[in-house]
Amino acid sequence: MKKRNMAALALLAVMLLTACGRAADASVTMEEIVVPEMSSKDMLVNSLEYLLKEEPEEEIGEEQETEEEAQKKEPQTEADQETPDEDHAQEKAVICYGRDMESGLTQEEITSEEITPDVLLNALARHNIVPLLDSKALSMEEREVDGRKLLYLDLSGSFREYLMTMSAEAECIIISSIVNTFVSNYDADAVYITVEGKTLITSNAEYTEALSGDTPGEIMAYLTAAENETEEDAAEPEEE
């Protein structure tokens, strides 16, 4: 557009300069309507002012149009293309943990992209139910036994070492917290806890049976009963 204006200015200048040699200082009359005198110089100045006045508006219009076209052609980024539907859905879970024998267990809701045994254990680790380091589920299997849904949870060896440093009361709180957490989130009836594929044995008990959603006090009763049974077996005389 700017080039066309410059060409028009050059052509107009040539024409007006040619007319300057022929113009007369007289007024023009057409059917008794008098047109005021205007010299060739005035006409040239007015014409230049008009063209120069119109040119910026046209250039601005061209720039806006160019910017709009560039925006249309510019590829969208991943952020622009992402929609709310593409966000990862968060799943909810509940962990259970205790602090003492009297107050029972506290429940806490957590969220994760996927609820797995390790996600639950990591959440329990924040409350010192399992060790913070190297505490993980080696496997977990669900089975239907006599109409009951049982979980077979196999933990790493660090869990047994952790329990060996605990008192009987602390051990009951830990076992109760794990059992209730897994029973709640997997809608199970009971949990077998093993360590590296073997029966969990601590300084307080051997966990040979599946445990349901027992409280720490009920776990303690289980440990006491198991201890008494062991003592009775040891006290019975051997048959000759």
Label residue 104 by pLDDT band (50, 70, 90).
confident
Asked if residue 160 belongs to a domain, the reply is: yes
- The residue-averaged pLDDT of 4-28 equals 52
Task: Identify which of 45-49, 131-135, 167-171 has the greatest average pLDDT.
Answer: 167-171
Full residue range of the structural domain in which residue 191 is found: 91-233
SS3 216: helix
Phi, psi of 118 (to 5 degrees): -70, -35
More reliable by pLDDT, 7 or 179: 179
Residue 213 per-residue DSSP state:
S
Query: What's the pLDDT score for residue 23?
Result: 46
- Gap between the Cα atoms of 167 and 176, Å rounded: 14
Q: Is the pLDDT of residue 63 over 80?
A: no
- The residue-averaged pLDDT of 14-18 equals 55
Nearest alpha carbon to residue 190 among 231, 219, 228: 219
SS3 40: helix
Asked if residue 219 belongs to a domain, the reply is: yes
Asked if residue 109 belongs to a domain, the reply is: yes
Q: Is the pLDDT of residue 226 over 60?
A: yes
Asked if residue 26 belongs to a domain, the reply is: no
- The structural domain count of the chain equals 1
SS3 201: strand
Task: Identify which of 12-16, 57-61, 224-228 has the greatest average pLDDT.
Answer: 224-228
Asked if residue 16 belongs to a domain, the reply is: no
Q: How many CB atoms lie within 10 A of CB 212?
A: 15
Burial (CB count <10 Å: 0-12, 13-18, 19+), residue 208: exposed
Q: Is the pLDDT of residue 111 over 90?
A: yes
The structure tokens listed for 121 are 């254990």
More reliable by pLDDT, 232 or 17: 232
Q: Is the pLDDT of residue 39 over 60?
A: no
Asked if residue 40 belongs to a domain, the reply is: no
Burial (CB count <10 Å: 0-12, 13-18, 19+), residue 202: buried
Asked if residue 132 belongs to a domain, the reply is: yes
Asked if residue 99 belongs to a domain, the reply is: yes
Q: Is the pLDDT of residue 86 over 60?
A: no
